[in-house]
Structure 1
Amino acid sequence: METKDNMDQVTHTDIGVIKIADEVVAIVASLAATEVKGVAGMSGGVSAGIVEMLGRKNLSKGVKVEVGEKEAAVDVFVIVEFGASIPDVAQQIQKRVKEAIETMTGLKVVEINIHVQGVAFEKPESKDVESQRVK
Structure 2
Amino acid sequence: MTAGYQVSQPVESKMGSIKISGDVVRVIAGKALEDISGVVGINSSSNPRQSDFKSLTQGIKAELSENLVAITLQVQVEYGYNIPDVAFHIQVAVKRRVEEITGLAVTAVNITVEGVRET
- Alpha-carbon displacement from aligned partner over 1:53-108 (angstroms, at most 9, x marks no partner): xxx75121220110122110010110000000000000000000000000000000
In terms of Rg, which structure is larger?
1
Equivalent residue letter for 2:29: A
Q: CA RMSD in A?
A: 1.9
1:61 aligned residue: 58
- TM-score (norm. length: structure 1): 0.73
- Provide the C-alpha distance between the structure 2 equivalents of 1:82 and 1:44, rounded to a whole number of angstroms: 14
Is 1:89–2:86 an aligned residue pair?
yes
1:13 aligned residue: 13
Alignment match of 2:77 (pick from 51, 75, 80) = 80
1:53 aligned residue: none
2:40 aligned residue: 40
- Runs of 4+ off more than 2 Å: none
1:129 aligned residue: none
SS of 1:8's partner is: coil
- TM-score (norm. length: structure 2): 0.83
How many residues were matched structurally? 108
Contact kept? 2:44, 2:115, Cα under 8 Å: no
**Unaligned regions of 5+ residues in structure 2, if any?**
47-51
